[in-house]
Structure 1
Amino acid sequence: MSETKYRQIARVIEQRIDNGHYPVDTKLPTHRQLALELDTTPATVAKAYQLLTEKQRIASHVGRGTFVCSTGSLSDVIHPTEEDGSYNLSILQPCLHYNVAPLSRAFQQATQTLPLDLMGYTEHSGLARHRMAGVAWAKQYGLVGGCAENTLLVDGAQHGLSLLIHALTKPGDTIAVEEVTYPGIMAIAKLADRHVVGLPMDQQGVTVSGLTEVVDQYKPSLVVIVPSHQNPTGITMPVERREQIAQVIARHKVWLVEDDIYGFLNEEPIPAITNFVPEYGFHITSLSKAISPALRCGFVKVPSSQLAHIEAHIRTNIWLSSPINYAASSLLIESGEAFALAQKQKEIAQKRQRIAHDILPTAEAATSSVSQGYHLWLPLPQGWQQDRFVMEAKSRDVLISSGSYFHAQESRDHHVRLSLMAVATEEGLKKSLTILAELLAKPAETVFPF
């Protein structure tokens, strides 16, 4: 068997995956079918498939066949900057131009006469007044029980997630996440050699029965839940479901990480899950979605039994988050301006959701609870593969995120996630959504006839 031949075949298959001919989750031809097409032997195709399996481009399932894997990284899901002439609907961030002036003033005030305590090392994970600002921020949106002693400072919610996963689990452990979830969680787990298992969801979020079954069967060391305006589905978990989830956590004595960075978007404050299970719950929030991702200001409320352990991880990892960033953020929180900025972003999101529902033909089929969220989890019409739709949108200068990157486990659903906030103007948003609406109206086979 020629090594060159099977490697050539592997390259052909990879090219078909990359150009969308074989989208994520597509079942590949059998060894015999592809051998006939490429004028080779089934054994040569089998070796090419083995090579691609080792590269994690494809996966074989006994009795079902071979399928294309999702290999996307965070850079495939979110494009931090808009390319020339493109509309970026891929990244979840506030409409930043509204926040530039107040944030600039806060930094000027914080650094006008730079106090010594902002320039050196501090005890714990930061200054007490900065931790108390985090307490005030989280309390405003539904968390109770926070104080300067149990609230720690981290470099944003992503750092908080990574910190807790490394501190509370070990390589080879299982982490339970929502069955469709923020890819950043899965990226952390993959790099840290933790296994991920998906939690079944319904229109109210993680189901109680699903959580119970997963905990019983897989014995996860950690459960991660995004309870408000969940990324990507947009679901907000009601109070009763939060209480029920907390009961399961307490009964099984498993750690809960509650990633509540979108809590400020709720119409009224909703009690955090952690409120009902403080001895097992770690609550994360940050200012990234309400004010600016560049602040890197995150707050983690930690059970008293784990404070020393988590503080030690922070000192080992970063020593402390920048006091200067927290000084500016604390000024905004203490003055009340941070809450006003969050309210403004919520109003913008509500308006942009209405625009999206007016323009997009399948928006009404999306989860109804996203009426004031930053994004839309959009189902695709029959015939459209999600990765192919993303490619076609990009060719029309609209950047969106394929639903294939959000699944903790294999799925046949076809969605794309649209951020409604990153495009600076309403005019730009309307143009980009109109482009998508026109694409959605086309039968898939007329766009890629193969």
Structure 2
Amino acid sequence: MSNSKFIFIADVIEERIDSGEYQPNAKLPTHRELADEFETTPATVSKAYKLLSDKGRLESFVGKGTFVAARSDLNEAIQAPEDESDFNFSLLQPCLYKNVPAIKKAYQQSADQLTDSLIGYCENSGHKKHREAAVRWAQEYGLEGGNTRNTVLTNGAQHALSLLVETLTKPGDTILVESLTYPGILAITNLSNRNVIGVELDEQGVRPDALDTAIKAHSPSLVILIPCHQNPTGVSMPEARKKEIAKVINENQVWLVEDDIYCFLDAPPVPPIANFAPNYTFHISGLSKAISPAMRCGFVKAPESQVAALNAHIRANIWLSSPINFIAATLLIESGEAFQLAENQREMAVHRQELARQIFPSINANASGFHIWLSLPQHWQQDRFTMEAKNRGLIVTSGSYFSADGSNTQHIRLSLTSISRESKLIDGLKQIETLLNSNPSSFLPF
């Protein structure tokens, strides 16, 4: 067995990872500790660790040790539909069938506007006319101080996040995020070798005292927050809390990225943090949640001292975001139709939240966004529940993908908007309720 003992040890470690005994980002025992446990040599354990590192299950850092690889696989956390019969609760997107006629019309009209100047290269991140539309969009939902000089165009909000991490930080830097945060942020930081530290949340979002303490303790290069309809908790910061967060940012003079992609869901709009800390805040908005993720239109209002650096990074990576998409987006914004589409989505989200509360009365009664953050009963482990749900055609997202430190959240996130037909949505939610109330031991192991 000596030649295969390292394989046996690797299998045991992998089982412990899959069962949750070793959580994502957790530090593993030393080679000597595992060698004692398995009555073998540190060299054999080293071979087991290398095997698992090659499989992507472990990560080793000189001087720090070996850690469970972070759970930030967006393909698992956010799954595109494969079978139309499935109930896909993993995608946070608008109810698209409502928007198709307006989008089709906008792209048809945009063909008439194609000119040499619009389809060629241009300075900055995009054409002035399109930046004017971006300013108008963000202004409609409460952002102050935006103009064509301090607003840049990106290929969606995800590109904006990646751009800002690349521009404002370097490998090895620390970034503060909410203790539960959007997996796309974790994917960016993991791939770019940035260190992430989660900051404690309460019922109004990130706690100002916890943020201040974390900034002083870790000297981060950047803070990234989702203050409006936070993903995954659904919490929205009231104006008073945003002012408190801005005070912490201003006093510590640290860069803040405010991902405000869900700003259109508040009625009336709540002023963003950027209004109260304009010298340090990069405000992200866009059309992916209100109109369509396929348009890839993101908007960043930046401190004017940083606009040149952002434009330089955009030119070095993509030169500029596709003007064709921004022609269509600008037509929708200038006509006012974009705002009506957004309002339709907001009303639909409010209605679907009411439907969800009828089935799950314990969820956040104040939530009005695209998703719910559903607590699991103690007899269910979140990843086990996710797998059993998938076996039944219910595609849900495990809470493990949202934890900044890999801790067990005992939750799942459910999108209420990716399933177009309301009757199918209700059917799927009731099936999830039935599964929640069932006993995991009654199912065969996977």
| TM-score, with length taken from structure 1 | 0.90
Q: Cα distance 1:139–1:438, how it changes in 2: closer, same or farther (>3 A)?
A: same
Partner residue, 2:320: 320
Q: Find the aligned partners of 1:176 and 1:413 in 2 and give their Cα distance.
A: 19
- Aligned residue in 1 for 2:365: 368
Question: What is residue 386 of structure 2 aligned with on the other side?
Answer: 390
SS at match of 1:284: strand
- Check whether the contact 1:24–1:404 (CA below 8 A) recurs between aligned residues: no
Deviations 1:335-392 (A, max 9, x none): 11000000111111111111212123xxx3333332x200011100012110000000
What's the counterpart of residue 184 of structure 2? 184
Post-superposition offset of 1:190:
1.1
Amino acid across the alignment from 1:386: Q
Deviation at 1:270, TM superposition (A): 0.5
Q: Name the CA distance, whole Å, in 1 between partners of 2:209 and 2:184.
A: 26
How far off is 1:268 after superposition?
1.1
Shift of 1:36: 13
Hey, what's the Cα distance between the residues in 2 that align with 1:366 and 1:10? 40
Structure-1 separation of matches of 2:316 and 2:268? 38
How much does 1:8 deviate?
3.7
2:299 is the alignment partner of 1:303 = no
* CA spacing shift, 1:373–1:23, aligned 2, 3 Å: farther
How far apart, CA to CA, are the structure 1 residues paired with 2:412 and 2:318?
35
Shift of 1:138: 0.4
Q: TM-score, normalised by structure 2?
A: 0.91
Residues of 2 paired with 1:276 and 1:145: CA distance? 11
Q: Does 1:208 align with 2:205?
A: no
Tell me which residue corresponds to 1:253: 253
3-state SS of 2:345 partner: helix
- In structure 1, C-alpha distance between the alignment counterparts of 2:67 and 2:131, rounded to whole Å: 48
SS in 2 for 1:367: coil
- Distance between the aligned counterparts of 2:272 and 2:109, measured in 1? 33
Map Cα deviations across residues 139-162 of structure 1 (whole Å, 9 max, x no partner). Answer: 111101001111110000000011
Answer yes or no: is 1:403 the counterpart of 2:399.
Answer: yes
Check if 1:25 corresponds to 2:31: no
Q: In structure 2, what residue type is equivalent to 1:142?
A: G
Q: Residue 94 of structure 2: SS of its match in structure 1? A: coil
2:257–2:283 Cα contact (<8 Å) kept = yes
Q: Report how far residue 124 of structure 1 moved.
A: 1.2
The residue aligned with 1:150 is 150
Cα deviation, residue 115, structure 1: 2.0
Q: Partners in 1 of 2:275 and 2:363 — Cα distance?
A: 30
2:217 maps to 1:217? yes
Contact in 1 for aligned 2:403/2:409 (Cα 8 Å): no
Q: Which residue of 2 aligns with 1:121?
A: 121
% identical aligned pairs: 50
Query: Aligned-pair distance for 1:315?
Result: 1.0
Alignment: residue pair count: 437
Contact conserved, 2:357 with 2:363, CA < 8 A, in 1? no
1:161 and 2:161 are equivalent in the alignment: yes
Displacement after TM superposition at 1:72 (Å)? 4.3
Equivalent pair of 1:17/1:68 in contact (CA under 8 Å): no
Alignment of 1:104-119 (within 5 A): 104-119=104-119
2:331 is matched with 331
Which residue pairs with 1:347 in the alignment? 347
For residues 51 and 93 of structure 2, the distance between their equivalents in structure 1, rounded to whole angstroms, comes to: 36
Contact 1:24 1:70 in 2 (8 A): no
Q: Report whether the alignment pairs 1:234 with 2:238.
A: no
Counterpart-to-counterpart distance in 2, 1:134 and 1:52: 49
Structure 1: which amino acid aligns with 2:427?
K
Q: Cα distance 1:192–1:67, how it changes in 2: closer, same or farther (>3 A)?
A: closer
CA RMSD, Structure 1 to Structure 2 (Å): 2.8
CA distance in 2, matches of 1:4, 1:268: 64
Q: Which consecutive unaligned segments of at least 5 residues does structure 2 have?
A: 61-65
